[in-house]
Amino acid sequence: MTNNINNIPPFYEKVQNKEYLITQENPSIMQINVGSLCNIVCSHCHVDGGPHRKNNMTKETFDHIIEAFRIGNYKTIDITGGAPEMNPNFRWFIEEISNYAETIIVRTNLIILTIKGYKDIPNLYKKLKVQVVASLPYYNEKVVAKQRGKGVFPKSIQALQILNELGYGKDEELVLNLVYNPNGAYLPPKQEVLEQTYKKKLFNNFGIIFNNLFVITNNPIGRFSKFLHRENIYNDYMMKLYKAYNEDTVANAMCRFMISVGPDGTLYDCDFNMIEKLKVSSHINTVEKLAKNPLKSRKIVTGLHCYGCTAGSGSS
Ligand code: SF4
């Protein structure tokens, strides 16, 4: 096998079952990225989030989303950022979309829930039965400090304890899932094994309970790509992903079942494609248009970064 990334075949050629390169007819999940504004700066962040970012989604775009969600008969809204809680329209939006969505997922960095001005949000999550997906790159302070900055780990633990006190992770309707991603250019360990370790360590050390651990492969785009190039290991990492390609994971790649809306309302097959500026392969390519015409099944726009979703046990 080649060790030169120029010889890696385009993703769409590698996929043997070409049906997997087409989306489902009626996607049920709408993922929205409400902007990259964030209170912390993580080394793995693929949207380059941080306090300096100014691309907050506007109220007008949120209005289009609500209409598109309603007429498209979507079931799940999956909200990401940045720290989505920092978008000024966030509270209003999740209250509004709860009239239509069966499931509301919010991806949180946890720390934001402990900061003045945002401490009301855990209660709002409880009221709306929001599924919380919380980023916790590891179960010990040293590793988390390296990836997310000093002081982040104790605040994350504090936020998890607040959520547990409200019933998250305990009450069937209050789902608390955690996300692990590697702190470097290597593939993550097996989800089931790491989940058991997380559960044991977090309960024994801090009394924390959660539902599931999602193990994510770092996608070689955004800030992580810059890190790989700076360290001169981009090619090695890309080869690692390519060699670990697993055709069985493609059927479940998230792009097959959802539409992703960027902060300015542009539509993508996933938020990795958003970073790569690869719009959907349809003339309905903004949420404003989607609010008038539901999307038909479409060809997925792919790139080398798709090997990040299909390495090992899969991750997307
Ligand atoms: S990067 Fe996006 S388009 Fe590519 S396989 Fe993953 S989810 Fe699908």
Please work out whether the CB of residue 316 comes within 6 Å of at least one atom of ligand 1: yes
Please work out whether the CB of residue 256 comes within 6 Å of at least one atom of ligand 1: no
Residue whose Cα lies nearest atom 8 of ligand 1: it is: 255
- 3 pLDDT band, cuts 50/70/90, is low
What pLDDT sits at residue 7? 84
pLDDT at 44 exceeding the cut of 60: yes
The alpha carbon of 305 and the centre of ligand 1 are apart by a number of angstroms equal to: 7
What distance in Å separates the CA atoms of residue 237 and residue 225, rounded to the nearest whole number? 10
Mean pLDDT throughout 262-285? Answer: 95
Which tokens sit at 111? 């720390």
pLDDT at 316 exceeding the cut of 70: no
User: With pLDDT > 70 as the criterion, what percentage of the chain qualifies?
Assistant: 98
Please work out whether the CB of residue 306 comes within 6 Å of at least one atom of ligand 1: yes
pLDDT tens digit string along 196-243? 999 999 999 999 999 999 999 999 998 889 899 999 999 999 999 999
What pLDDT sits at residue 148? 76
Residue whose Cα lies nearest atom 1 of ligand 1: it is: 306
Residue type (1 letter), 149: G
pLDDT tens digit string along 81-90? 899 999 999 9
Average per-residue pLDDT for the chain: 92
pLDDT tens digit string along 122-166? 999 999 999 999 989 888 888 777 777 778 899 999 999 999 999
What pLDDT sits at residue 45? 73
pLDDT at 280 exceeding the cut of 60: yes
User: With pLDDT > 90 as the criterion, what percentage of the chain qualifies?
Assistant: 75
What distance in Å separates the CA atoms of residue 303 and residue 221, rounded to the nearest whole number? 11
Model pTM score: 0.93
pLDDT at 291 exceeding the cut of 80: yes
What distance in Å separates the CA atoms of residue 65 and residue 316, rounded to the nearest whole number? 22
Beta bridge partners of 31: 78, 260
What pLDDT sits at residue 315? 75
The alpha carbon of 38 and the centre of ligand 1 are apart by a number of angstroms equal to: 24
In terms of C-beta density within 10 A (0-12 exposed, 13-18 middle, 19 or more buried), how is residue 46 classed?
buried
pLDDT at 2 exceeding the cut of 60: no
What pLDDT sits at residue 76? 98
Which tokens sit at 116? 């003045």
Please work out whether the CB of residue 130 comes within 6 Å of at least one atom of ligand 1: no
Rg (CA), the chain: 19
Mean pLDDT throughout 45-73? Answer: 90
pLDDT at 43 exceeding the cut of 80: no
The alpha carbon of 227 and the centre of ligand 1 are apart by a number of angstroms equal to: 21
Sign, Cα dihedral of 56, 60, 63, 64: negative
What pLDDT sits at residue 146? 78
Residue whose Cα lies nearest atom 2 of ligand 1: it is: 270
What pLDDT sits at residue 47? 74
